[in-house]
């Protein structure tokens, strides 16, 4: 009995298990989208991810969304409206309603997003077969280099149309000279690392990449075959470096930022960079040739417009013979500006320029390229020029307007300029003046060095209110300047005041010099027509050197008390008079063939004393005694030589008695070739006069 009951329970358990495994009965309430995909004509399928009521698909961006057919699976006996298979364009989100057998509805949104297909290696396309194999991969991003064409040899690739889906090359895109096609197939490129055109590919005449926005590195072009480059969407590039005798047009109308621009383009007709705001390092554009064996051509560009540029480290524009207008009106600060060989320029806009840290140059290396057109040069907000300001290439410049300029390291005053608006200029490091302009000098407070040459000014120069740190050199080529007012002291690094008469014998008198009491060096040179040199009546001390090179017969300094050294180079000098001179700390040189009258009644100390002639053919023929040295008590070294008639040394008695003249400094080598050459023993014995 027990066995029977166990068997019965086993049978019932099996029956219950079979009953539980039977399928649930169909109730007609399910309205689910179970599977969804899009399929290309070639059978490539892109599956969707179903989350809740949303279907998300990702397809390569190169795939045409109008060339996709929907495939789907619904709940049993459910329907969908509209039928996804009827949708022709999946570029926008689609909504579908799934209805169950009993009429319950559920909405699904199908979203299609694109994704880029990336290749993580460089691509070398040397043959058409290489292009075909690469195209089959449908790559949109190359995370490496793309090299088109072999670097040398015969022509390699003729067509790259299969690269039309390429969007980005993250490293260098190189076009080698063996490539014999164009770059139209790269019209979908948006970003590249660098673009290098190597040599001159035969068929590559134009480069236009309409969607290119970023060149992360350099645009480098060394090709003479390309005539036009256009990047209408480009907003940023690091470096642009191009040398080409073929390029006539370069257009980047949306470009805003670059690091450096360095181009030599001898046939340039158009440059469109109107939105460039920043050039971090420099802008260098040259229209000249750097080689000799090329046919000479001339750029015809008339306008160089950079109206949005606010910052540029340095700017050089050179050798554009037709260029008329340069517009950098928003540039506020730059390291340097150079305009070179621009003979046709009539307008330069520097409206906002405030600071030039080094140089502002307008220069020419050919007289035919000097500029006779520009009449007005202005920078209304310019305050500082840290280097040299030289506008000499503008040979007919009439007006210079720098109303806010306060300091300049080097500055040139040009003779052609008739009106200077520089009312706030107070300090100049080195001033090269080809004219004395009272309105400029009136406001100046400090000048390091003044060099004046060829000045047509006539009348008095007033420099008395200016602090000079180094030197004043005035070259007078005519007698226009009649008087010069100087500050009382002038003890800068050089402390030189120089009047140079440019060897003009027609100038007979020096300008009247007043005010100066003390300086380091005082020099009168190249004055063959001046018969009498009279030092400023106010001059008391020349601490280093007084030098006179002239045709003078007489030299005098009424109030001069101390000199570092005195050098006279005047072949006709007969007399000199320094009635208050007490000390010459260095060399006192009294050489002269006809020097006869010497007045030094207060002289007590000389570092080195030189008297006489230079050699046997050029002797002093007038001195017979040294009585003009009777007050001299101290002398370091001496040399008395080639005095043809000198026989009386009594004037040195005080120096001998003081012990300044010794056997060491009075020898046959220091006193010789005179009419009388006493020994030291002769002097000690009182034999000052030749027996």
pLDDT tens-place string over residues 84-138? 999 988 888 999 999 999 999 999 999 988 766 677 789 999 888 889 888 888 8
Alpha-carbon distances of 606 from 2, 522, 579, 671, rounded to whole Å: 153, 18, 15, 17
Please state the length of the chain.
Answer: 691
Could you tell me the two tokens for 525? Answer: 């040179």
- What CA–CA distance (Å, rounded) separates 655 from 652? 5
Residue 201 gets the label, from left (phi > 0), alpha (psi -120 to 50) or beta, of: beta
* Residue 15 confidence (pLDDT): 43
Q: What is the DSSP letter of 308?
A: T
Task: Tally Cβ neighbours within 10 Å of residue 624.
Answer: 16
**Could you tell me the two tokens for 64?**
């045409």
The pLDDT value given to residue 296: 65
Burial grade of 15 (CB within 10 A; 0-12, 13-18, 19 or more): exposed
Which neighbouring-strand residues pair with 72? 36
**pLDDT value, residue 12:** 46
The dihedral over CA atoms of 133, 135, 136, 142, expressed in degrees to the nearest 10, equals 100
| 3 state DSSP class of 26 | coil
- Cis peptide, bond prior to residue 162, ω within 30 of zero: no
What is the distance between the terminal CA atoms of the chain, rounded to a whole angstrom? 181
The closest of 192, 257, 276, 265 to 228, measured between CA atoms, is 265
Q: Name 481's Cβ contacts closer than 8 Å, sequence gap at least 6.
A: 436, 455, 457, 458, 459, 460, 461, 474, 511
Q: Are 444 and 461 in contact (CB under 8 A)?
A: no
What pLDDT, on the 0 to 100 scale, is given for residue 2?
A: 40
At 116 the pLDDT is 67
Residue 207 CB neighbours (<10 A)? 24
Predicted pLDDT of residue 290 = 60
Query: What is the pLDDT, as a whole number, of residue 17?
Result: 43
Q: Is 336 helix (H, G, I), strand (E, B) or coil?
A: strand
Note the pLDDT of residue 440.
95
CA quadruple 363, 367, 370, 375: dihedral positive or negative?
positive
Q: What are the Cα distances from residue 62, in Å, to 88, 112, 115, 172?
A: 17, 13, 9, 22
Residues 238-278: pLDDT tens digits?
Answer: 999 999 888 999 999 999 999 999 999 999 999 999 999 99
**If you search the block for the tokens 């070739």, which residue do you land on?**
673
Domain 33-115 class, CATH top level: mainly beta
Could you tell me the two tokens for 486?
A: 């100087």
| C-beta atoms surrounding 413 within 10 Å | 20
* Strands, E assignment, 210-366: 214-221, 228-230, 236-243, 249-251, 257-264, 270-272, 278-286, 303-305, 311-318, 325-327, 333-340, 347-349, 355-356, 360-363
Would you state the pLDDT for residue 568? 82
Report whether 551 contacts 528 (CB < 8 A).
Answer: yes
Q: What is the pTM of this model?
A: 0.76
Tell me, what's the pLDDT at 151? 86
CA 397 to chain centre: 24
Query: Which strands make up the sheet holding 45-47, listed edge to edge?
Result: 45-47, 33-40, 68-74
Q: What is the pLDDT of residue 232?
A: 97
Q: Are 326 and 302 in contact (CB under 8 A)?
A: no
Over residues 349-370, the pLDDT tens digits come to: 999 999 999 999 999 887 788 9
Q: Which position has the token pair 């005010």? A: 515
Q: Which residues of the chain are modeled with pLDDT < 50?
A: 1-22, 291-294
């Amino acid at each position: 009995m027990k066995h029977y009951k166990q068997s019965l329970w086993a049978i019932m358990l099996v029956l219950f298990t079979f009953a539980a495994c039977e399928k649930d009965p169909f109730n007609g309430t399910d309205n689910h989208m179970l599977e969804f995909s899009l399929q290309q004509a070639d059978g490539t399928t892109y599956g969707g991810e179903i989350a809740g009521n949303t279907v998300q698909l990702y397809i390569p961006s190169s795939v045409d969304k109008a060339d996709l057919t929907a495939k789907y699976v619904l709940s049993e006996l459910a329907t969908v409206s509209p039928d996804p298979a009827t949708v022709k364009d999946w570029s926008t989100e689609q909504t579908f309603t799934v209805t169950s057998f009993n009429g319950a509805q559920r909405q699904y949104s199908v979203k299609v997003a694109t994704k880029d297909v990336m290749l993580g290696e460089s691509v070398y396309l040397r043959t058409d077969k290489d292009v075909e194999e690469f195209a089959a991969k449908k790559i949109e991003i190359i995370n490496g280099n793309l090299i088109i064409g072999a670097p040398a040899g015969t022509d390699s690739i003729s067509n790259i149309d299969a690269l039309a889906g390429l969007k980005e090359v993250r490293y260098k895109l190189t076009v080698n000279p063996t490539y014999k096609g164009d770059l139209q197939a790269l019209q979908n490129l948006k970003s590249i690392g660098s673009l290098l055109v190597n040599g001159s590919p035969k068929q590559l005449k134009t480069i236009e990449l309409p969607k290119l926005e970023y060149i992360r590195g350099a645009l480098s072009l060394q090709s003479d075959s390309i005539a036009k480059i256009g990047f209408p969407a480009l907003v940023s590039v690091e470096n642009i470096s191009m040398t080409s005798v073929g390029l006539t047009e370069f257009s980047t109308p949306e470009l805003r930022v670059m690091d450096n621009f360095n181009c030599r383009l001898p046939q340039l007709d158009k440059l469109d960079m109107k939105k460039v705001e920043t050039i971090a390092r420099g802008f260098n554009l040259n229209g000249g040739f750097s080689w000799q064996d090329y046919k000479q051509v001339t750029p015809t560009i008339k306008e160089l417009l950079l109206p949005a540029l606010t910052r540029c480290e340095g700017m050089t524009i050179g050798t554009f013979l037709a260029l008329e207008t340069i517009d950098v009106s928003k540039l506020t600060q730059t390291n340097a500006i150079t305009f070179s060989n621009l003979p046709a320029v009539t307008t330069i806009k520097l409206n906002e320029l405030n600071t030039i840290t080094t140089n502002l140059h307008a220069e020419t290396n050919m007289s035919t390229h000097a500029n006779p057109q520009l009449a007005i040069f202005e920078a209304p907000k310019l305050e500082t020029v840290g280097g040299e300001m030289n506008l000499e290439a503008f040979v007919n410049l009439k007006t210079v307007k720098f109303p806010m300029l306060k300091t300049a390291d080097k500055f040139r005053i040009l003779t052609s300029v008739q009106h200077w608006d520089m009312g706030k200029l107070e300090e100049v490091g080195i001033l090269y003046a080809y004219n004395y302009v009272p309105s400029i000098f009136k406001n100046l407070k400090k000048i390091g060095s003044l060099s004046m040459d060829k000045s047509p000014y006539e009348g008095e120069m007033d420099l008395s209110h200016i602090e000079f740190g180094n030197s004043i050199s005035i070259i007078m080529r005519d007698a226009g300047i009649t008087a010069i007012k100087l500050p009382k002291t002038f003890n800068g690094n050089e402390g030189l005041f120089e009047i140079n008469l440019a060897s003009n014998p027609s100038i007979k008198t020096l300008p009247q010099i007043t005010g100066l009491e003390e300086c380091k060096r005082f020099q009168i040179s190249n004055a063959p027509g001046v018969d009498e040199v009279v030092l400023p009546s106010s001059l008391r001390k020349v601490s280093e050197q007084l030098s006179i090179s002239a045709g003078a017969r007489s030299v005098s300094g009424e109030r001069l008390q101390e000199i570092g050294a005195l050098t006279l180079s005047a072949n006709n000098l007969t007399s000199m008079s320094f009635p208050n001179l007490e000390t010459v700390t260095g060399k006192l040189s009294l050489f002269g063939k006809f020097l006869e009258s010497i007045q030094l009644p207060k002289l007590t100390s000389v570092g080195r004393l030189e008297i006489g002639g230079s050699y046997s053919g050029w002797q002093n023929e007038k001195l017979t005694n040294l009585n003009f040295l009777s007050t001299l008590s101290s002398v370091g070294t001496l040399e008395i030589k080639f005095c043809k008639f000198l026989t009386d040394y009594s004037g040195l008695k005080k120096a001998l008695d003081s012990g300044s003249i010794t056997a060491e400094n009075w020898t046959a080598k220091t006193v010789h070739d005179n009419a009388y050459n006493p020994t030291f023993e002769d002097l000690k014995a009182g034999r000052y006069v030749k027996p």
